[in-house]
Amino acid sequence: MSADCLVVPFPNVWELTDDRTIVLGKLHLSLDLFSRGVLAMMVLKGFERESSYARHSARLFTFLSKYDDLDVAIDCVTENLDVDDTAVNTLIGVSKLFEI
């Protein structure tokens, strides 16, 4: 793979700007491996519809995909979304990430 493949044409599009997600990421990076796993499990619980944090699912997804595990984040979203137009459109948007 050449170095040219690693250059993003529009880096501002990929820059993380949400303060809450950045703070959560800094917390994650400050923890030991075991505590990072505990934090990730807490975030996964936030995706459940009964959770008061479900309304922050976009932030939770961003955090998990950037700081923990993209595959786990996608699996969690697909398991907790109702299959409706909103879910389908969201998954189409996520799939665009892999068309590069």
Report whether 41 contacts 48 (CB < 8 A): no
Q: How far apart are CA 17 and CA 36, in angstroms?
A: 22
pTM for the whole structure: 0.67
In a domain, 32, yes or no: yes
pLDDT digit string (tens) for 19-48? 888 999 999 999 999 999 999 999 988 888
Q: How many domains does the chain have?
A: 1
In a domain, 34, yes or no: yes
**Domain extent at residue 62:** 15-96
Looking at residue 82, its pLDDT comes to: 67
Inside any domain, residue 2:
no
Tokens for 60?
């939770």
Please indicate, yes or no, if residue 9 is contained in any of the structural domains: no
Question: Average pLDDT of 56-64?
Answer: 86
Name the nearest CA neighbour of 57 among 74, 35, 38. Answer: 74
**Is residue 91 one of the residues assigned to a domain?**
yes
Residue 92 lies in a domain: yes
